[in-house]
Structures are given as C-alpha cells and as structure tokens.
Amino acid sequence: MLLLPFYVKSQVVLDELKDEKSLDHFELGEANSDDYAATPYGKGHVLFLSDRGGNGLAAKDPKTNKVFARPYLLRLKDLKTLTYAAPEALLSLPYYIGQCALIPDSSGLIVSHSRSKADKNGNVGMTLSFIPFNGEEAKELPFIDEIANYQHPYFDPIDYTLYFACNVDGGIGGYDIYKSAMSFDGGWGSPMAVTEVNSALDELFPSTGQNLNVYFSRSTRNYGLQNFAWQAKDSTIMEFPNNGRGDDFAVIVLNDSSLMMSQSKRPGTASNLHLFTVIPPEPAVATEEANTETTSKAEETPKTEEESKTIAVTSSSAPAQEPPKVSSGNYSIIIGGFNTVDHAQTFLDGIGAWAPKAFISPYNDKFYVVHSVHGSKTSAKKARAIVKRNGHSAWVLSKGLNGI
C-alpha cells in the first residue's frame, strides 16, 4: 500500500533521480489512451487528464478525431484510477478541457479550457475559469486578456497563489510562467511574471514545492519539452537528470521521497504518467540479517529477560509482550516515515493486528512508525526480521525514540 502525503521539502527525491537504482518506478495509465498533467487533489489523490473511455457520443477534436480529454482521479494509496464526478459547469464546457487545479478550501477548480468562440483571426484560444462546486456557473478569471492563451494552472496552497502559462504580450518568450495571488474574499491580484524561470523559449506546466522551488517544462530544439527546477536555496535552474528524447513535462512533487511526471510514450512503455519513489537506504547498523526463511521458532522468541522486555512479539499467533522500554533502548525499528501524523496513524492502524505495540514518534521533522526499541543490535535485528516476515520493510535507527 502506498501512502504519499503532500508536499514538503523535495530535494531528496530530486537528488535520487540521478540514480535510477535508488528509485521505485511505477508506470501508470492505459496503453490506448493519453494520460497526463496530474495535479494534487486533496491529501490522497491527484487529478489528471485522459482521453480514455470515449464512446460514439463523446465529443471529439475535429482536427484529430480523438476524444477530448476529461479529468480522472488517481487514488495514491493503491494507484487506482477512479471516475471523477465533475461539476456540471465543467462538463458543460465546449471542446477542450485542459489541466485543472483544486482551490485549497475545496470551493472549486481553476480550469484551463477552450473559449466558446473563435477570435478575430479564427482561432479558438484557451482561457482560465473558476468552476465552483456549489452549482453556480463557471466564471472566467478577471485578469484574462482576450487575445492571449492561458494554460496549465497550478495552485500553491501555502501562499494561495495560482501559477499558469500564458503567451500574453510583453513576455520574454512565446509562453512564460505567471502567478496571481488569490485573496480570501475571492479576489485576484494582477498577474506577475515569474522572471526567475522565464526565457526566450516556451515555459509551461508550472508547479511549486514548500521549499519555494518552482518546477516547470521548457521547450527545447531537439528533445521537445524538458523538465527543470528553479531552486530557491541558490537561485539556480537545474535540468532534471531523467529527461529523455521526447516530451517530459508536468512535474508535481508529492513529498520528499516521491514525485509524478508526464512523458510522451516511448519504446518499451505504454504509459504517460510516471511515479518515482525513493527506496529508503539501509543504515550502517542494519547490515546482515538472519535468514528469515530458515530461522527456527526458538530463535524467533526472545531468550533472555532483557530481550523479553524490549522485543514486541508481532506474530499473529503469539501473545503480545510488554511494551518496549523506549527510555533505555538505543536502537529503534522503523517501519515507515510520514510527513503528517494523520498519515502515520492511518498506517499504524493498518498494522495493528500483528504489531499491537507499535507507536508514532516525532523525529527529524517527520512522524515515524516505530515497531519497537531495543538495547542491543542483536535483539534489534531479530525484531527487524519479524517485521519483514509480515511483509513490510524496516530499518534500524541508532537512537531510542519515544512515543507522542
């Protein structure tokens, strides 16, 4: 089960992209559809676009004869795609529905979509509208220039600011990244160019991280769209190390160990959406472990009085032992680390049947789920083996953690 809470310091996952062996890679989507442009949707989902599921009555692009993309939900805990119950104001929009961004108070969506009629040159451009969830009609954002195109909205929940791509007159390139702050009474500030990332090329698909990083895609001459990050710590622009031949775009950082991006389909993969999660490194103290397949029942059970006090027997068939004495132990068995206590509690509830004495401990700006705490490496390794027999990864932290 995956638990990927939004969204904190992101440098860890960016650094790990340089080494694919340190990452788990999940390819998402359907082979016969285009799935792309995911954005956060609450704590446990992302909203993405897909042209899957079309029927004979579905609206189609007159140029390509393909079904217009519509939003779908992806549930992060099990990576299951769900039908999105879109508000009527969204479904009634004509033609193309583009990227959608949820307002943090859940009052509605900011949606990029086709205009209802062509401009004076005969082109049907793109605009941004607020789609309320209360049944009211869609409202175009007040700062829209009728001769410009607006795409790829992303709402930063920390500073309540909408980021988007636009080709309005006065920009550096064709499309540049802009931002507009939303006030709590629903008003919008005048759009400001994000000068740190804009160039003479097209910049598209902006997103942000809590550490003030800005992620975006930039058109290139030979490789299509490529992903970049403007890093606030030193005001530098970093090219993503896993950019390839073909379009790479629409990065969202879910937390410090996972991110999602879109890619054009390439040889060997039938997917557009890609999720990367960091594989936790094994600390030095957690080197060799006993062979859990051949360990005897006698070896699994604590032999000494000290071990009986510090090891929580987690086999479903064995009686629960006394809680570990966390004040005297020096080695904690960590089962998972989370960025919110709610996500840690959800995980803890799920392992209660075989780890009834596990607890949550705040440490290093995270909430760790601790199986048990021990006074020696030997007893810690035995407890770690028990955790692994129950189908979970675990590592040994050289510190005795306390519960909340």
Query: Higher model confidence: residue 86 or residue 216?
Result: 216
Calculate mean pLDDT across residues 325-349. Answer: 76
User: Cα separation of 275 and 15, whole Å?
Assistant: 15
Q: Which helix (H) or strand (E) holds 387?
A: helix 377-389
DSSP string, 207-263: EE-TTS-EEEEEEETTTEEEEEEEETTTTEEEE-TT--SS-EEEEEEEETTEEEEEE
CA 320 to chain CA centroid, Å, is: 37
The pair of three-digit structure tokens given for residue 22, joined into one six-digit string: 């340190």
Helices vs strands, H then E, count in the chain: 6, 24
Q: Which amino acid is at 340?
A: T
Residue 206 contacts residue 194 (beta carbons within 8 Å): yes
With CA atoms as reference, report the closest residue to 307 among 252, 378, 379: 379
Domains of the chain: 11-278 (2.120.10.30), 297-397 (3.30.70.1070)
CA atoms of 176 and 186, how far apart (whole Å): 24
In this prediction, residues 84-108 reach a mean pLDDT of 89
Rounded to whole angstroms, the maximal C-alpha distance in the chain is 86
* Average pLDDT over the chain, rounded to an integer: 81
What span, in angstroms and rounded, lies between the C-alpha atoms of 367 and 359? 10
6: nearest Cα among 187, 292, 209: 209
Compute and round to an integer the Cα radius of gyration of the chain.
Answer: 25
- Dist CA 346 CA 122 (whole Å): 53
Percent of the chain with pLDDT over 90: 38
pLDDT at 317 over 50: no
Asked if the model's pLDDT at residue 332 lies above 60, the reply is: yes
153-177: average pLDDT: 94
How much is the average pLDDT of 207-222?
Answer: 89
pTM above 0.85, yes or no: no
Tokens, residue 6:
């939004």
Cβ neighbour number for residue 340 with a 10 Å cutoff: 16
